[in-house]
Amino acid sequence: MTYLAGLGLGLSLIVAIGAQNVFVLRQGLRREHVGLVVLICAASDAVLIAVGVAGLGAAIVAVPWLLSAARWAGAAFLAVYAVLAARRALSAAGERLDADDAPRAGGAAASSPRAVAATCLALTWLNPHVYLDTVVLLGTVAATHEARWLFAAGAVTGSILWFAGLGYGARLLSGVLARPGAWRVLDGAVALVMAGIAVSLIVAG
């Protein structure tokens, strides 16, 4: 039951639409370095959950400037990402799927593994909400369970299942994205989500 409690809470926190999930979805749709993205997201969550269960969540709460610094850095990064996505959405050359369903950019080269990894790490570690959800909240709830590391294992499992499902399951939408202009609509939505989250981080400060 403790394991299932961790699994349920972990999934409930991570499923909400956010910058990280949008990025994983986009990479999954592009079929570009999906395994790398899923690994980074799941491993990052595992580290943060372990830190929280180990009792370090209280330390973060006690040093409020850490979250404040992450909030402003995250807002700046998301604003830049939103602008780039908006430029792709407004570009005359969109993105389409070839006959073999492999994504091909109309004018933009595929991103390198290093660039994708850097973006994924930034979207994960510069997001103050991830610390509140994993380190503070999950860490606090885990402390109420006698087998707290079993609770943590459930939460980590939930993270792995979600990111793997989101990244690799995105290809099921390839048919929809084969339509002209579909990628421009997607990038427009990405720009709006990223900009909205950036604004919410600034307002929260």
Q: Which amino acid is at 97?
A: L
Tell me the average pLDDT across 46-66: 75
Average pLDDT over residues 23-44: 92
- Give residue 39's pLDDT: 96
* Rounded CA separation 60/66 (Å): 7
Mean per-residue pLDDT, 76-83: 80
Identify whether the C-beta of residue 150 lies closer than 8 Å to the C-beta of residue 49: no
Assess whether pLDDT exceeds 90 at residue 193.
no
d(CA 120, CA 81) in angstroms, rounded, equals: 11
Decide which of 52 and 12 is more confident: 52
Rounded distance, CA 8 to CA 124, Å? 21
Give yes or no for residue 77 having a pLDDT over 70. yes
Number of domains observed in the structure of the chain: 1
**Contact (Cβ atoms closer than 8 angstroms) between residue 94 and residue 181:** yes
H or E segment and range at residue 30: helix 19-30
Calculate the average pLDDT of the chain: 78
**Which residues, 6 or more positions from 76, have their beta carbon under 8 angstroms from its beta carbon?**
198
Mean pLDDT of 85-93: 75
DSSP 176: G
Q: pLDDT by residue (tens digit) across 152-177?
A: 999 999 999 999 998 999 888 767 66
Separation CA 184–CA 154 (nearest Å): 37
Write out the two tokens for 67. Answer: 């979250």
DSSP conformational letter for 102: -
| CA pair distance 103, 145, nearest whole angstrom | 46
Mean pLDDT of the 65-79 span? 74
Phi, psi of 181 (to 5 degrees): 85, -5
Q: What is the torsion angle, in degrees rounded to the nearest 10, for the CA atoms of residue 183, residue 187, residue 192 and residue 195? A: 170
Cβ atoms of residues 20 and 127 within 8 Å: yes
Domain with 162 in it: 2-204
Give SS3 for 14. helix
